[in-house]
Structure 1
Amino acid sequence: METLTRPTLLYAVLEKRQWLRFEVFQRQLEDAGARAAEHYRNSRLATVNVTKLTFKRWLAGEQEPRGDAATVLEFWLGHSVKELLGPAPKRKVVLARVPHDASLAAVHSFDVRFDSSHLAVNGLLPGAGGVWHLDGLRNFDGTSVAVQMYEAEPRGDTVVIGPEDREHLRYFIKARRRALLIAALGARGADDLYVLDVAHARRQLLMPVDSLPIPTAYKLDELVYGLLWAALNVDDSLLADDQALHVEQQQSEAHLAQPRSAAARAAYPELTDVGAVWLGSHVCASYLRRHLNSADTAPVLWSRVQYGGQAAGWLLFTERHQVLQLMQERAAGAEGAACCVCCIPEAAVKNSERYERLLLLLTMALMESYGLTVYICTEQAYSHTAEFVLAPQRLAVVADWLSPDAVWHVDNTSSKNEINSLAHALDHARAHSITSASTSHERLRQAANYLECEWDWLVKRSREISAYGIGGLLQLRSHLIQPSGVERALSFLSESASAG
């Protein structure tokens, strides 16, 4: 192996951590071997040792560790043997502390729990962070975000990243990129993980402080993961489509001028899946504003939302909030109350993860917060019904933005036969709804039971997150979405439960 003209990365890492003395390295290697043996369930790894001569050759990049020794080194230091024996970067390297084994085990357990998560907290480059891949499942395109994990200690209602990580922390957050910090308590004997957006951390560290607190409310559980999974996927896809959506938005006026319009998904191959859904939502919301006038009877919305990815549109798209506001306005002074019927068959519940179903519950809470009574129909036969709004006996407006084949489908009719047919479907769905209580609190509780989500836990977590706000979790960058829907839903869940 060719002798390097500058130190190896292995040399730089050990020098940074003051492990260059052979006796110190030998002790650290023995400890790492014991941990690796337990992690990989391979007792041979606990007996790995090295001579002083071999150690010097490793440091110089003249001899490559092999077999069990290579396995222990890679497990211990977080870099491949090839990287460790390669040259250290010429630039200044700011190294993070090696995560505690229990913290790495907590990360592994987390990935096992969440099918769409692939969290690697050790970066391939020295001084850089890791990466968190988030699969898109049914409705999203998938995305990734830079992450860095630090050991923390509990302090009151926060966990604190201490001054020993200050240098690397400031180094990591300097770049104006999307990134997340993960605080782990493995060294403290706990397997909980906590998350904070780098933009929020950057603002905190503008002050002369040595430590960075993260609220325990930001614990990385099903609710927080669901919010991050949805927000990061939606935000990144919309940013990727920003210019294309601007052009299409300008051209949508021609479609809105027609009495009815539809656009196939194949007509917009350049858009991400999220971008196509946003465009459909925009066209449908604009169409509703033009055609849904005041009526004597409060309007009724039929929504085809069934999965968490679809619920994310209701929670984050600005246009969806405008639709709910429109429903609320049209119901003011009218007979009856505005309501929404969602068809969520049992198959959709069984085929989705709990964090997806929590997003559905938040969407229902958002709708209820605008005065809409939410009903849940479970019959599979209604699951493909296009989204529409009915002002009984007056007008029906189809505004479907969640079709798997079309970006949008808009139409309106005053035909008595068609209106009677839609009204019959609505009446049947409401009569057989699994939510039948007279208060929002009880209806949401019934929905939680159906969606197999723990109600008391959800209320507790909603209250905790609402107390801090979600600004530390969700730093949205696209101007097409807003976090206020999530905040409103969380707050409404907390308040309605208290009132109930």
Structure 2
Amino acid sequence: MTDDTAETTAGGGDVEPAAALLAEEIRRRRLAADLSHAQLGVKIGYSRQYVSLAERPRKGLPSADLVRALDHGLGADGALLGLREEAENAKQARRRSRTGALVAGISIPVPGPPPAGVPGLALGTGRSSEDEVAVQAPAGRFFTGTEIAARAYPASDDGRILATVPTGFADDPFLRRPRRGLVVGVTQGDGHGPGLFGLDTRQARRRLAGTPDQARLLMSRAYALDDLTLGILWAVANLDEALLDDDGPLDDSRGQLAAYERLPRSAAGREIAGDLAPVSQMWLGSQFCASHILRHTEKLTDIPAFWTREQRGEEASTWLLFAHKYAYLRQSGGARPGSDTAPTRAFCIPPSAVADSSRPERIMLLLAMALMESFGITVNVTAEPEYAAVPGFVFDGQRHAIVANWVGTDGIWQVDVTDTSPLLREFADATGYARAHSIAAAETPDERLRALAEYLDLDWAWLVRRCAELGEYGSSGIAQPRSRLLSTDGVDQACRFLAQAVHC
């Protein structure tokens, strides 16, 4: 018997009791059979790591295929599969209860029940339709949380969404505020409760300018308030608010960091920008890392393999919305002249990261991957948590690597250029494993994105349809950035690519 049999189940905390029970039962039956993790793995055709992770509920619920193999290998007669089904049901119930609450909550002063299938929306009653309410964009791991001022008005749906706004609304101070606001059109729906459609106040003012006083506000069905648009609003509002508040100090910090750009290796502690919000520090580190990579790409001798550390939509939304990251992808994507091999970008997204993310946040993660695929970058995803600590890097597969970290670091960034053999070996092993065991292992972007959507537990058909709608109209109609450092070009390109990839 090897030492790994002594490992105990990690329970407590936020682990679902049903998931902890499944893990404990797998371990109990394995020990009763006098098998180590490795021995059981050989018996069922899985690695020792997979068997070990199945007994650690904090690492996520094991796949149905793995539990089926364990059930057969341990002679459980369906007992383990039954426990997994209970754990899956509990996970879905927990996810449904907090989806939207982590991302957006809207109080609309129009009577009626909440719209079906749109979590996070609560309709109030008994107030004037001109009352101002708030769209909550809650805090996250980096986001500090903010509110979006909103007003709601009844709307008709004749194939168009036409909101009945007050006379002279184009000149209303609500539409002329410098900060973000949202006009919400509320339709009667089709028996499933009201439908909610949003429009950025700047867009609303533009559409009403020059129209007769009695004109209604034309809104697009693409701007229905659902998991897709709520996720975008959540990210844009939080990023925008922080960057606008820190605009001057952030510009000063950029100037102070110029000396670091001459160094092949550097690390910046958070004290150099201690007064900046976490989002602004993220922007600073991300911008420096992108510039560092581009400054040193001439050292790479072959098609690069990128490794990135984002695991959740909050971090990945920066690819979609930071203007410098969109420009960076344009410069670093696509096959090199004379080669038909595309660069790759690997993610490590353990099941626990998926389980801890709401549906709108998972949509943002998938859109970030779609954006990379649109630039000719093949996305690989490993679910093995052991790779979560691998630093961000660019590796040419031979002699050089560029290290660039801004996610999960002690400071604002850590960068390097290296030809150290042990590091190159580590990077080669990580990229090789991610490529060989990718969740998204497939020949085409469509197949890869579809596999990722399945892993992230997203409704592929619905998402393709909604991305096609939003990509056609543009997301700035509902979430127009105010900060000069943000752009929705990445969101729109990702939406259009995801929708078009299906038909290629």
Which TM-score applies when normalising by structure 2? 0.73
3-state secondary structure, aligned to 1:411: strand
Residue pairs, 1:89-488, within 5 angstroms:
99-102=109-112, 105-106=113-114, 113-114=119-120, 129-156=132-159, 158-162=160-164, 165-167=166-168, 170-171=171-172, 172-186=174-188, 190-209=193-212, 210-293=215-298, 295-328=300-333, 331-334=336-339, 336-488=341-493
Q: What is the RMSD computed on CA atoms of the aligned residues?
A: 2.5
Q: Deviations along 1:432-469, whole A, 9 cap, x unmatched?
A: 11111100000000000000001111110011112212
| Contact kept in structure 1, 2:304 and 2:343, CA below 8 Å | yes
Distance 1:414 1:426, change over 3 A: same
| Contact kept in structure 2, 1:293 and 1:330, CA below 8 Å | no
> In the alignment, residue 159 of structure 1 is paired with which amino acid?
I
Q: Deviations along 1:3-24, whole A, 9 cap, x unmatched?
A: xxxxxxxxxxxxxxxxxxxxxx
> In the alignment, residue 183 of structure 1 is paired with which amino acid?
G
> In the alignment, residue 485 of structure 1 is paired with which amino acid?
G
Q: Which moved more, 1:467-476 or 1:185-194?
A: 185-194
Q: CA deviation at 1:216?
A: 1.0
| Contact kept in structure 1, 2:367 and 2:495, CA below 8 Å | yes
Q: CA deviation at 1:406?
A: 2.1
Equivalent residue for 2:104?
none
Structure 2 residue runs without a partner (length 5+): 1-107
Q: Larger C-alpha radius of gyration, 1 or 2?
A: 1
3-state secondary structure, aligned to 2:432: helix
CA distance in structure 2 between the partners assigned to 1:224 and 1:329 by the alignment: 29
3-state secondary structure, aligned to 1:152: strand
- Deviation beyond 6 Å, 4+ runs, structure 1: 117-123
Q: CA deviation at 1:274?
A: 0.6
> In the alignment, residue 344 of structure 1 is paired with which amino acid?
I
| Contact kept in structure 2, 1:118 and 1:132, CA below 8 Å | no
Distance 1:119 1:296, change over 3 A: farther
Q: Deviations along 1:99-158, whole A, 9 cap, x unmatched?
A: 4411xx428995xx33xx8888999x99652222211222211111210011111121x2
| Contact kept in structure 1, 2:399 and 2:419, CA below 8 Å | yes
CA distance in structure 2 between the partners assigned to 1:267 and 1:303 by the alignment: 24
| Contact kept in structure 2, 1:127 and 1:168, CA below 8 Å | no
Distance 1:118 1:336, change over 3 A: same
Q: Deviations along 1:275-322, whole A, 9 cap, x unmatched?
A: 000000111011111111164421011011111110111111122123
3-state secondary structure, aligned to 2:479: coil
> In the alignment, residue 369 of structure 2 is paired with which amino acid?
M
CA distance in structure 2 between the partners assigned to 1:286 and 1:275 by the alignment: 17
Equivalent residue for 2:99?
none
Distance 1:174 1:480, change over 3 A: closer
CA distance in structure 1 between the partners assigned to 2:416 and 2:122 by the alignment: 42
| Contact kept in structure 2, 1:459 and 1:494, CA below 8 Å | yes
- Percent identity between matched residues is 36
Q: Deviations along 1:54-99, whole A, 9 cap, x unmatched?
A: xxxxxxxxxxxxxxxxxxxxxxxxxxxxxxxxxxxxxxxxxxxx94
Which TM-score applies when normalising by structure 1? 0.74
3-state secondary structure, aligned to 2:268: strand
Equivalent pairs counted in the alignment come to: 393
CA distance in structure 2 between the partners assigned to 1:204 and 1:335 by the alignment: 46
| Contact kept in structure 1, 2:109 and 2:133, CA below 8 Å | no
Q: Deviations along 1:296-355, whole A, 9 cap, x unmatched?
A: 421011011111110111111122123322322673434732010000000000000010
CA distance in structure 2 between the partners assigned to 1:264 and 1:120 by the alignment: 46
Distance 1:471 1:134, change over 3 A: closer
| Contact kept in structure 2, 1:299 and 1:330, CA below 8 Å | no
Q: CA deviation at 1:264?
A: 2.5
CA distance in structure 2 between the partners assigned to 1:353 and 1:121 by the alignment: 28
Q: Deviations along 1:344-375, whole A, 9 cap, x unmatched?
A: 00000000001001001100100001111000
Equivalent residue for 2:91?
none
